[in-house]
């Protein structure tokens, strides 16, 4: 991997070693020997080949994880387990530069942003080590002098984690950290479009010395490797982040084996700016919220609602920002917007923009420099004069595209913000404290930021309502409500009455 360094500004021709599956502590080929090609979104040339795991590989990985759960990992002292979890964080920190480069190479995300995502990944492990050690405890109830009833929180066993390509390393670790810290063992099926840092996570965890079988990675496609993981009877739970339709399929497919599922799904989040808002800050937050991560963000503010009295001024400033956003090579530290993940996605996003024009929007875009045209670049795009009922305001486009909708009254904007199938995030800008709270509470969203962009606090629940998900990640929600379950132990401390069925009087 020596070719991949931060000095590389030109991603052309960068090749990385081929990638294998990580099963039972070993890097192995797929049983079938199959591989698939991994493509660089900046050049549309191959980066490397990836072993393509299928059902037989999932079976092996689950068997290894099951054996580790009943062996070394399951029997380990808490303090020792936490030493391993913290060591994973340390290794990530040591390798942050290389991981950030791999992520940018694989996804087209700008290197300045992938660095922060990798730092957050290390924090995910440290956070859960601390959280589990300090707060994973049960309750005890005493019933007179007869009983003490207490609960302990037990890990589930083998858990399957299925993740998307948009912020892969950070989102994978956001699941792996609580899963391992609470004592489960893991089979990770990362997105087929972004395998590089999932492989790197296997290398990191291997380097941290975690016992074999505790963590496994099976690369491959959703319909084969993913579906096999979902169907496997020895997998106790599936935590999924991805598209709403895929989430629904996974819930159906997990029903036969009665699995617990957690669903972090799509979004079409509103950002509402009232006329009394701090306009400068609202503009910064709006631009960041839609154009960071190349617009491929579940929490992106893809619908901007502007009060009619500030709309023209706000839009003028937005146009200027859009024309200044630096589009280019993801490896260039000054790049703000890189290429989309793959050609098909580029096609999909471009079709939505064409549709918006047909539906009557005025389309305003930045300019993609000639020298990067080989990449899947969609420029930052504003869809002006949009109305909330348009298809481009209802569907998750998942690109750097924001619809701008005018409103007049509070009631009207709440109704429009909620007239969508999703309910992941929301953003409200106003300096009227009462209105701020009123609107924040009225918008259908699992997470609502008032006078702020998407700033994270790992202790709070992360997730959405409506078609944006079921369940929450983060804080004690992941710990108590998903990756463990309570076990009750009833202890008699006195001689309470026991009915004497069948006993001769
Ligand atoms: N709510 C949240 O926290 C977040 C949600 N997302 C959502 O993720 C989506 C983008 O990610 P994509 O990778 O395109 O999602 P996707 O749903 O296409 O794929 C996600 C994962 O599911 C796997 N998969 C596909 N079909 C499967 C099946 N039948 N059985 C099992 N696994 C299957 C894929 O191989 C991949 O690993 C967007 O909708 C975005 O909003 C992204 C980040 C955060
Ligand atoms: O912070 C998280 O745990 C997840 C973040 C994901 C996004 O912000 C996104 O995809 O928008």
Distance of CA 487 to the CA centre of its chain: 29
Ligand at minimal distance from the CA of 295 is 2
For domain 10-136+147-265+468-489, which CATH number applies: 3.40.980.10, 3.40.50.2300, 3.40.605.10, 1.10.1670.10?
3.40.605.10
**What confidence score (pLDDT) does residue 5 get?**
40
Q: Is the CB of 398 under 6 A from ligand 1?
A: yes
Q: Separation of 445 CA from ligand 2 center, angstroms?
A: 14
- Taking only the tens place, the pLDDT of each residue in 421-468 is 999 999 999 999 999 999 999 999 999 999 999 999 999 999 999 999
**Token digits of residue 223:** 């319909």
Q: Is the CB of 472 under 6 A from ligand 2?
A: no
Edge-to-edge strand order for the sheet containing 215-217? Answer: 26-28, 21-23, 215-217, 185-189, 158-162, 235-241, 260-264, 469-470
- Taking only the tens place, the pLDDT of each residue in 7-44 is 444 555 567 999 999 999 999 999 999 999 999 999 99
Q: Separation of 271 CA from ligand 2 center, angstroms?
A: 16
Candidates 43, 91, 50, 376; CA nearest to 206 is 91
**Token digits of residue 322:** 């859009």
**What confidence score (pLDDT) does residue 2 get?**
35
Distance of CA 149 to the CA centre of its chain: 38
Within 13 Å and on the Cβ side, how many CA atoms surround 22?
A: 28
CA distance 502 to 505: 9
- Taking only the tens place, the pLDDT of each residue in 248-292 is 999 999 999 999 999 999 999 999 999 999 999 999 999 999 999
**Token digits of residue 79:** 């303090």
- Taking only the tens place, the pLDDT of each residue in 72-85 is 999 999 999 999 99
Residues in the chain with pLDDT values less than 50:
1-9
- Positive/negative CA dihedral, 221, 222, 223, 228: positive
To 10 degrees, what angle do helices 196-207 and 168-181 make?
40
Q: Is the CB of 241 under 6 A from ligand 2?
A: no
CA distance 433 to 180: 42
CA distance 429 to 278: 7
pTM over 0.80: yes
Instruction: Give the position, in ligand 1's atom list, of the atom nearest the Cα of 468.
Output: 1
Q: Separation of 371 CA from ligand 2 center, angstroms?
A: 31
What is the interface pTM, i.e. ipTM, of the complex? Answer: 0.95
CATH node for 270-450: 3.40.309.10
Ligand at minimal distance from the CA of 297 is 2
**What confidence score (pLDDT) does residue 15 get?**
72
**What confidence score (pLDDT) does residue 76 get?**
98
Q: Domain extents for the chain? A: 10-136+147-265+468-489, 270-450
**What confidence score (pLDDT) does residue 403 get?**
98
- To the query of whether residue 264 is one of the catalytic residues in this protein, the response is yes
Ligand at minimal distance from the CA of 229 is 1
Instruction: Give the position, in ligand 2's atom list, of the atom nearest the Cα of 454.
Output: 8
């Amino acid at each position: 991997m020596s070719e991949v360094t931060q000095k590389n500004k030109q991603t052309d021709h960068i090749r990385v070693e081929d990638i294998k599956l990580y099963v039972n502590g070993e890097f192995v080929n797929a049983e079938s020997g199959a591989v698939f090609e991994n493509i660089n979104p900046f050049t549309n040339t191959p980066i490397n080949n990836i072993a393509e795991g299928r059902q037989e590989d999932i079976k092996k990985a689950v068997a290894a994880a099951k054996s580790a759960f009943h062996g070394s990992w399951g029997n380990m002292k808490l303090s020792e387990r936490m030493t391993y979890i913290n060591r994973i964080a340390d290794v990530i920190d040591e390798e942050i530069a290389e991981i950030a480069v791999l992520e940018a190479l694989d996804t087209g995300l700008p290197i300045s942003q992938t660095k922060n995502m990798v730092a957050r990944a290390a924090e995910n492990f440290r956070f859960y080590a601390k959280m589990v050690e300090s707060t994973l405890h049960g309750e005890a109830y005493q019933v007179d002098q007869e009983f003490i009833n207490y609960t302990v929180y037990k890990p589930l066993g083998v858990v399957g984690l299925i993740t998307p390509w948009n912020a892969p390393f950070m989102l994978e670790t956001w699941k792996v950290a609580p899963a391992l810290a609470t004592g489960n063992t893991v089979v990770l099926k990362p997105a087929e479009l972004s395998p590089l840092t999932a492989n790197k996570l296997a290398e990191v965890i291997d380097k941290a010395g975690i016992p074999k079988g505790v963590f496994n990675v099976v690369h491959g496609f959703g319909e084969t490797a993913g579906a096999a993981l979902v169907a496997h009877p020895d997998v106790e739970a599936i935590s999924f982040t991805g598209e709403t339709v895929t989430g629904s399929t996974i819930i159906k497919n997990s029903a036969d084996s009665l699995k617990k599922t957690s669903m972090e799904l799509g979004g079409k989040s509103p950002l509402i700016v009232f006329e009394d808002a701090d306009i400068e800050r609202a503009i910064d937050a709006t631009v960041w919220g839609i154009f960071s991560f190349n617009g491929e963000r579940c929490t992106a503010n893809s619908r901007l609602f502007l009060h009619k009295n500030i709309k023209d001024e706000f839009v003028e400033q937005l146009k200027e920002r859009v024309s200044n956003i630096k589009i280019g090579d993801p490896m260039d530290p000054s790049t703000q917007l890189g290429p989309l993940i793959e050609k098909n996605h580029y096609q999909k996003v471009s079709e939505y923009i064409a549709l918006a024009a047909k539906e009557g929007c005025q389309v305003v875009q930045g300019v993609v420099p000639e020298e990067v045209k080989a990449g899947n670049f969609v420029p930052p795009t504003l869809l002006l004069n949009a109305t909330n009922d348009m298809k481009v305001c209802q569907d998750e486009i998942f690109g750097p595209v924001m619809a701008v909708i005018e409103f007049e009254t509070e009631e009207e904007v709440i109704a429009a913000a909620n007239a969508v199938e999703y309910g992941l995030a929301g953003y409200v800008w106003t300096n009227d404290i009462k209105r701020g709270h009123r609107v924040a509470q009225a918008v259908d969203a699992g997470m609502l930021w008032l006078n702020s962009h998407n700033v994270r606090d790992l202790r709070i629940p992360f997730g959405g309502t409506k078609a944006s998900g079921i369940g929450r990640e983060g804080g004690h929600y992941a710990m108590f409500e998903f990756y463990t379950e309570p076990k009750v132990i009833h202890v008699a401390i006195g001689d309470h009455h026991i009915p004497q069925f069948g006993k001769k009087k």
